[in-house]
Amino acid sequence: MEVKVIDNDVEKALKILKNKLSKNGLFKELKLRRAYEKPSVKKKRKALEARRRTAKAKRRRRF
């Protein structure tokens, strides 16, 4: 991932980088890895995320 700094505007470049990382899911992944997650809890979370993704895809296809 690359962010170019234009006119020494580091603040704006950091903001763009942070936005790209959050869209990529990095912050979510870091939050999940901070503590141990039991396999049963992990399985439930993955299933819930999959259900959300399929529901979102169905909503998008409908229109």
What are the pLDDT digits (tens) for 9-58? Answer: 999 999 999 999 999 999 999 999 999 999 999 999 999 999 999 999 99
Domain of 21 in residue numbering reads as: 10-62
Question: According to the 3-state scheme, what is the secondary structure of 1-24?
Answer: CCCCCCCCCHHHHHHHHHHHHHHH
Is residue 43 a contact partner of residue 52, using CB atoms and an 8 Å limit?
A: no
Distances (CA, A) of 6 to 3, 9, 14, 19: 9, 6, 11, 17
Residue 2 lies in a domain: no
In a domain, 1, yes or no: no
Let me know if residue 3 belongs to a domain.
Answer: no
The answer to whether 5 and 13 have CB atoms below 8 angstroms apart is yes
- Is the pTM here over 0.85, yes or no? no
Domain count, the chain: 1
